[in-house]
Structures are given as structure tokens and as C-alpha cells.
Amino acid sequence: MTTAVPLERDAVAAAFTTPEGSTATATATAIATVTERMIPGVTLSRVTLPAGRSANRSAVLDLLAGGVGPAAAAASTAAALTAATLTGEPYDVVVSAGIGGGFPPDAPVGSLVLADEITVADLGATTPEGFAPVTALGFGAVTHHPPKSLVREIAAVTGARIGTVLTVSTVTGTAERAAELRRRHPRALAEAMEGFGVAEAAAAHGVPVLEIRAVSNPVGPRDRAAWRIGDALAALTGAFGKLAPVLESWNPHDRTH
Ligand SMILES: O=C(O)c1cccc(C(=O)CC[C@H]2O[C@@H](n3cnc4c(=O)[nH]cnc43)[C@H](O)[C@@H]2O)c1
């Protein structure tokens, strides 16, 4: 599970290690253990969940704060994926998680957004006719799709809204840019800066990916005073308390896309 900054990683960990987090889920998460592991390129916080109602074996969740932006996210996630494969413990799923901007009115501050499409919004070229994504230029990909069944189940338990989450390298700070993004991506509910990088790393390893964002601010005119980071981090903690049992019981060999 990749976040950008330690504050977000710790909000996820709190779902398993604090009394508040343990009330968010019916599993015995209060006795989860957390250990730090340094691997080349990244430090992992390993949460070991005891066997619970949803799984009859203990489950492991590696958390990492991989840096802000798609490049840092891709590099750190790829390092973790490679290390896991080389130690014979490959991951079943990769999750990009954190705070994000929500497109009003569909994704209000404090709400959760779960991606059914993870789309990079600014990877391409500007042309006299407008923006051309790299795919129109004959390169790469601009969208990754999380497993549909997992998205459905996690949205059901967390109450997250399902839609496109955009990855941007430049935070939107004007109404014009917000409108332009929504015109190009009508299903976009949120934007953040890491999802596509995490998804590219996961795809390179053939591992399914999810992205979940807790909305800390509206996408639009820059207004730092309107940010609600504390509320968003609390929503992230609550979401992970509820979604962890779904991940634990998910059988990656029984995927329906
Ligand atoms: O200074 C600003 O006006 C400003 C506005 C929004 C976000 C930032 C950040 O530096 C946040 C970077 C960090 O948080 C995620 N995030 C949160 N809200 C947004 C957003 O509206 N658009 C894009 N990213 C957002 C992002 O994933 C980064 O990890 C500064």
C-alpha cells in the first residue's frame, strides 16, 4: 500500500493499531503488529494482521510512504514489488491511497473515492487542436483498471463513490483547469498525484491495483484555508478498517475483471 507522505501512511496504519481503528472493523485488528523493514530504495512498515473472521491465516500489509508525484510513487512501488518477488512473497494487490482533491459537487470534502479507472491527465502533448494523450501519439497507456469485483466489494463496505481518479503532476488551482479536466474526463471524481505511477509499477509486475482517496479539498481555485486534511485522514483510517477484511478474503486467483 503506497501513500505519498508519512502522515497518510500512519493514518492507514492507525486502522490496525489504535483503538479508534479497531472499532472501525469487526476483526481483531487491535493486536496487529507493525515492524519496519528497509529494502533498497524504500522503507516498509509491515502490518501483520492476525487470523480473523474473514481469513483463516494471518495477513500481511506492507505500507510505504513513497513520495509526492507519479515518478516517486512508481519508483518506490516498483522497489517494493521487486523486493517482494525476490524474497518469494509477491504481493496479491497494490493499493495507492491518500488524500486528494474532489470534483464538486460529486465528491465533497470528507468523502471517499475509489477508482474504477486510474487515469493520468497530463501525460501527452499540447497541440493546436488541444491536449493529445500519449496514447494518441502511439505510446504507452494513460489508464489502468482495478479489478471490478474488488472495487464493488470495497465500495459497498466503505461507502466510497466509484469513478475515475485522475493523476496530475500539477495540482489544479483554477476553475478553468478544473472545468477542462472534467470536460476531458466526465467520470472524474477526484485528482491526486500518485495513482498512475503506482499503477504503472503494479502493471509491470502483473499485480492488480486499487486507488482510494479521501477528499481533503475541492478541485478548483486554490484555497489552502479550505483544506480539511484532518477529516480526510480520519476518513482514510475508517476506510482501511473496513476494507482490510475484503482484501484479506479476496482470492487473487479468482479474479473477475
Ligand atoms: O498548495 C496548494 O494549493 C495545494 C493544493 C492541493 C494540493 C497540494 C499538495 O501539495 C498536495 C499534494 C499531495 O496531496 C494529494 N492531493 C491532495 N489534494 C490534491 C489536489 O487537489 N490535487 C492533487 N493532489 C492532491 C496529492 O496526491 C499529493 O500527494 C497543494
Residues 71-93 pLDDT 10s: 999 999 999 999 999 999 999 99
DSSP annotation of 40 reads T
CA 140 – ligand 1 centroid, Å = 25
Structural domain contains residue 178: yes
Q: How far apart are CA 215 and CA 109, in angstroms?
A: 5
> Whose CA is closest to atom 30 on ligand 1?
171
- Which neighbouring-strand residues pair with 39? 42
For 111-133, give the DSSP string: -EEEEEEEEESS-EEEETTEEEE
- All residue ranges of the chain with pLDDT < 50 are 22-29, 53
Q: Is the CB of 211 under 6 A from ligand 1?
A: no
pLDDT of residue 250: 86
- Output the pLDDT for position 30: 53
Separation between Cα atoms, residue 122 and residue 137, nearest integer Å: 13
Over residues 6-19, the pLDDT tens digits come to 999 999 999 998 76
- Containing domain of residue 211, as a range? 2-252
Given the C-alpha cell 502483473, which residue does it identify?
206
Domains held by the chain: number: 1
Compute the distance from residue 161 Cα to the ligand 1 centre, in Å. 19
The reply to whether ligand 1 has any atom less than 6 angstroms from the CB of 4 is yes
Report CA(68)–ligand 1 centroid distance (Å).
Answer: 9
**pLDDT at site 23:** 41
* 33-62 residues labelled b (16+ CB within 10 A) or e (exposed): eeeeeebeebbbbebebeebebbeeebebb
Query: Which of 193, 198, 211, 227 best tests ligand 1's pocket when mutated (most atoms within 8 Å of CB)?
Result: 193
Cell numbers for 246: 475484503
The enclosing domain of 218 has a CATH number of: 3.40.50.1580
What number of residues does the chain have?
Answer: 257
pTM, rounded to two decimals: 0.93
Regarding the beta carbon of 168 and ligand 1, being less than 6 Å apart is answered: yes
Strands (E), 84-204: 94-102, 112-120, 124-127, 130-133, 143-144, 161-167, 188-192
123 lines ligand 1 (CB under 6 A): no
Q: What is the pLDDT of residue 56?
A: 63
- CB under 8 Å to 207, separation ≥6 — which residues? 81, 90, 91, 92, 93, 94
Q: Nearest residue CA, atom 7 of ligand 1?
A: 171
- Specify if 124 maps to a domain: yes
Given ligand 1 and candidates 171, 217, 223, 231, which is best to mutate, with the most ligand atoms within 8 Å of its CB? Answer: 171
